[in-house]
Amino acid sequence: MKIVDVRSYTLKSPLGDQGFYASQESFSERSSCLVRIETDTGLVGWGEGGLWGAPEPVAAMIDHVLTPRIIGHNPLHMDVIWERLYAHIRDWGRQGTAVEAISGVDIACWDIAGQALQQPIHALLGGAYRDRVQSYATGGYYKGGPERWADTGLLKEEVARHLDNGFRALKIKVGLLSVAEDLARVKAARQVLDECAPSGTRFPYMVDANHAYPPHIAITVGRGLEEEGVLWFEEPVIPEDRKGYRQVAETLDVAIAAGECEHTRYCFRDLILDGCIDIAQPDICGTGGISEAVKIATLARTFGVQVIPHVWGSGIALAAALHFIASLPPSPHSANPLPALNEPMLEFDRNPNPLRDTLLRDPIALEDDGTVRIPQGPGLGISVDEDVVAQFGPK
């Protein structure tokens, strides 16, 4: 089997008055770079490259740099393709756009491999440890104008909505406001979670700063999070500051999570060996695809670091993450695996995104008990609606 055609697609969906903020950025649109690979047997695989930045550079990398190097190659040889592409971009593209582009190509190759062998990707990864996974709602962004960012009433309404929809775990944002205002938001969301949790239990609750703080402020915030029983503190400091990460991790009791800004096993090696994180969060569409995420997961587990991937993007990104999650063993092993304790969870973004909700003919959805089913069809186990690709593609 040979790759005969590679196409990239830049999809965009403006959010209008549904835009939102995290600590670093306003989000006025949702976007994805998709890649479609076709083989001489007629099989077609889909992938996605990149997180939230402009999709055009990723598409250009696929079109001008990667495509000429994979046409004519067997898509089942994912490792050979990956290593050759990475060797080509190593001198100038070890992080960022180039690796995001490789991620999309890699996912599409896995999709083809699964279809060729009539197996879901998780079967090709060695088998599934679960057929569904507990998901957590990623929400609690800053919405409305600046005058509403500190409005805990607005946040409480949103949290209640996620719980009504079946979620039993939640992550919210901090880092845009003063420490006091953000800790008030953290407390307000915790109150709603506790009111809805069965007596004597607490729902997993996580907080994400998107690297908003210098280390000494991150420690102050982290102590506030510990008072609220927060499970992990995500990206407390900038990814370049390994020493700051280590200082925060050594000082605080709350688990430190990071990885959505990191690319390839080499970045994760440094985060792990430097004692920066308790939980690694590789993003399949950013860190190098399924091939690289599997290597990162093995590396992390070897050093006692948990793996709970970061997930953003379209339904393709969600499906790729689900296959990867299915293949992660409970860590450490337990006769009674429990979400967040030794079981991975699915990050399920709850911000508006039609690329997530409409791209797949059978969209990935939340079950009543807060879990999401792992796709069981060949490859990614999805059917991409090319009418939707055309709808959100360049006009």
CA 228 to CA 152: how far, in whole Å?
16
Catalytic residue among 162, 310, 323, 333: 310
State which of positions 10-69 bind Mg ion (CB under 5 A). Answer: none
Residue 44: which residues within 8 A CB-CB, separation 6 or more?
36, 37, 38, 112
How big is the CA angle at 311 (ends 98 and 154), to the nearest 5 degrees? 125
Closest to Mg ion by CB, 114 or 259: 259
The closest residue (CB) to Mg ion is 208
Task: Determine contact, residues 292/306, Cβ cutoff 8 Å.
Answer: no
- Per-residue x/- marks for Mg ion, 234-273, CB under 5 A? x---------------------------------------
Between the alpha carbon of residue 73 and those of residues 63, 68, 263, 265, the distances in Å are 16, 10, 24, 24
Identity of residue 325: I
Query: Minimum distance from CB of 312 to Mg ion (Å)?
Result: 8
- Reduce the DSSP state of residue 379 to 3 states and report it: strand
310 is catalytic: yes
Residue 110, classed as helix, strand or coil, is: helix
What is the secondary structure of 83-95 as a DSSP string?
Answer: HHHHHHHTTT-SS
* Residues 155-194 as b or e (16 or more Cβ within 10 Å = b): bbebbeebbeeebbbbbbbbbbbeeeebbbbbebbbebbe
Find the shortest distance in angstroms from Cβ 281 to Mg ion.
7
**Pick 228 or 234: Cβ nearer Mg ion:** 234
Closest approach, Cβ 153 to Mg ion, in A, equals 24
Q: What character string, x for contact with Mg ion (CB under 5 A) and - otherwise, covers 194-213?
A: --------------x-----
CA 213, CA 173: separation in Å to the nearest integer? 13
Report the nearest approach of Mg ion to the CB of residue 244 (Å): 17
66 versus 207: smaller Cβ distance to Mg ion: 207
Of 106 and 283, which CB lies nearer to Mg ion in the complex structure?
Answer: 283
H helix intervals, 2-149: 55-61, 67-70, 78-89, 97-117, 121-124
Rounded to whole angstroms, the Cα distance separating 31 from 392 reads: 9
Site for Mg ion, residues 217 to 236, rule: CB under 5 A: 234
- Which CB, 208 or 262, lies closer to Mg ion? 208
Name the residue nearer to Mg ion (CB basis): 47 or 239. 239
Residue 99 contacts residue 288 (beta carbons within 8 Å): yes
Q: How far is the CB of 239 from Mg ion (least distance, A)?
A: 11
**Largest pairwise CA distance in the chain:** 60
Residue 283 binding Mg ion, by CB under 5 A: no
Q: How far is the CB of 369 from Mg ion (least distance, A)?
A: 25
Residue with Cβ nearer Mg ion (172 or 252): 172
Question: What's the CA gap between 67 and 365, in Å, rounded?
Answer: 33
Place of tokens 């792990």: 272
Q: How far is the CB of 166 from Mg ion (least distance, A)?
A: 22
Q: How many positions of this chain bind Mg ion (CB under 5 A)?
A: 2
Residues in touch with Mg ion (CB under 5 A) = 208, 234
Question: Hey, which residues are catalytic here?
Answer: 310
